[in-house]
């Protein structure tokens, strides 16, 4: 199947409303999004569009996320990635607002795609008599370095290797078994907090790295086919706005360069994959760590759900258009799971 680019347009925030930003993005229904501003007037079509009124539950049910969880249980490599500029709602969509305030647990209605998927996965596991062996790993890619967010001690850089049987894999990454919702949610929190406290720039850091949480799903049932090993990977991509030159220097420009590099590499792979099969050239997964890690799900045998997050504000117009173009290209990619 194709990766399903899903668009989520967040509401205008209080501060955007206060300063009088115009809402320039509107959902027209049936997967159409309309962008209208002074010199722009464009309509894009997608498999699903969620606008400001859409609840977290509606996004979970309407994006195909539940089916993705079921396919992962059946042994497929499934990936959902959220992309868009900083502040467009990537983390909110994946995790809900809890990532922002650890002291106050979010109301269940606001839980994101991740927690909803965990619940669905554990329900399925229980109904199958707990014959699923579940474990999680959590990595971030920061300045083209892979860091383990679940390792004991400070996050350390891990090497990315390739083998014929496994494809690209991260050596020595920690994988933690879990059996309950509390356990996996606490791993997610632990890892996400380390992602932030490991940098000086605190909050800004979270959008300066790509974070990948992978759930490995094995079968414990007697006589189960050993090749039936599904994965469900959640990717919170770094903010795409740094794809442009920012003119910043030192550490920031290094960050910008590595974000540039991996998002451009991802875009490049996606646009090459979008060509008809006969006309496809070599896909340059090796151009960045991000594309190497996503190679399996993007290319051969994986199933990918893309959630493009968008701010409706007039001030974000050019980023919004570039996110929509990026997502449109991905619409044409097909894979063979
Ligand atoms: P990103 O991860 O893309 O940088 P965030 O997810 O942190 O962006 O969202 C930026 C702000 O907008 C946060 O304050 C978040 O709570 C709010 N927000 C994002 N999406 C929504 C939404 N669908 N409904 C309500 N508030 C949202
Ligand atoms: Mg974020």
Three-class secondary structure assignment of 218-270 = EECCCCCCCCCCEEEEEEECCCHHHHCCCCCCHHHHHHHHHHHHHHHHHHHHH
pTM of the model: 0.90
- pLDDT mean by block of 10 residues, the chain; 337 residues: 77 92 92 86 89 95 93 91 91 81 72 96 87 93 91 88 89 94 93 70 65 92 66 90 55 70 82 72 85 82 88 92 84 59
Would you state the pLDDT for residue 46?
87
Would you state the pLDDT for residue 211?
93
List the domain boundaries for the chain.
4-98+112-196+209-220+228-331
* Number of neighbours of residue 188 by Cβ within 10 angstroms: 23
Alpha carbon 267 to chain centroid distance? Answer: 14
Q: Where are the beta strands (DSSP E) in 108-262?
A: 132-142, 145-148, 157-158, 160-163, 167-170, 176-177, 210-219, 230-236
**Ligand nearest 16 Cα, by number?**
1
Q: Which residues contact 215 (CB under 8 A, 6 or more apart)?
A: 72, 118, 121, 134, 135, 136, 184, 231, 232, 233
CA-99 nearest atom, ligand 1: 7
Give the span between the Cα atoms of 268 and 291, in whole angstroms: 10
CA angle 95, 309, 262 (to 5 degrees): 90
Would you state the pLDDT for residue 53?
92
CB-based burial, 33-52: b 16+ in 10 Å, e otherwise: bebeeeeeeeebebbbbbbe
- Residue with CA at minimum distance from ligand 1 atom 5: 89
Task: Say if residues 255 and 263 touch (Cβ distance below 8 Å).
Answer: no
Is 279 labelled as part of a ligand binding site? no
Q: Is 260 in the pocket of ligand 1 (CB under 6 A)?
A: no
**Which superfamily, per CATH, for 4-98+112-196+209-220+228-331?**
Kinesin motor domain (3.40.850.10)
Task: Say if residues 199 and 205 touch (Cβ distance below 8 Å).
Answer: yes
Q: DSSP state, 174?
A: -
């Amino acid at each position: 199947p194709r990766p399903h680019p899903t668009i989520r347009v967040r509401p205008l925030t209080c501060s955007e409303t206060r300063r009088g930003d115009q809402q320039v993005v509107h959902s027209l229904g049936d997967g159409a999004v309309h962008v209208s501003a002074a010199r722009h007037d464009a309509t894009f079509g997608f498999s699903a569009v969620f606008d400001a009124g859409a609840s977290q539950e509606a996004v979970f049910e309407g994006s195909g996320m539940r089916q993705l969880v079921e396919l992962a249980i059946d042994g497929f490599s499934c990936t959902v990635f959220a992309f868009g500029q900083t502040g467009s709602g990537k983390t909110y969509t994946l995790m809900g607002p809890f990532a922002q305030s650890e002291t106050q647990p979010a109301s269940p209605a606001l839980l994101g795609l991740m927690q909803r998927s965990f619940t669905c996965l554990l329900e399925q596991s229980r109904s199958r008599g707990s014959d699923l062996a579940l474990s999680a790993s959590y990595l971030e890619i920061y300045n083209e370095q892979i860091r383990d967010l679940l390792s004991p001690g400070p996050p350390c850089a891990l090497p990315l290797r390739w083998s014929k049987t496994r494809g690209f894999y991260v050596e020595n990454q920690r994988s933690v078994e879990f059996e309950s919702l509390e356990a996996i949610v606490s791993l997610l929190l632990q890892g996400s907090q380390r992602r932030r406290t490991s940098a000086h720039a605190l909050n800004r850091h979270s959008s300066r790295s790509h974070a990948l949480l992978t759930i490995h799903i094995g079968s414990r049932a007697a006589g189960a086919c050993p090749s039936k090993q599904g994965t469900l990977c959640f990717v919170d991509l770094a903010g795409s706005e740094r794809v442009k030159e920012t003119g910043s220097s030192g550490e920031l420009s290094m960050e910008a360069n590595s974000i540039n590099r991996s998002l451009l590499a991802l875009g490049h792979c996606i646009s090459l994959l979008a060509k008809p099969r006969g006309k496809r050239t070599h896909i340059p997964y090796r151009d960045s760590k991000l594309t190497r890690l996503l190679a399996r799900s993007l290319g051969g045998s994986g199933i990918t759900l893309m959630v493009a997050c968008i701010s409706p504000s007039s001030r974000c117009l050019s980023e919004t258009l570039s996110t929509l173009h990026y997502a449109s290209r991905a619409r044409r990619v097909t894979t063979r799971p």
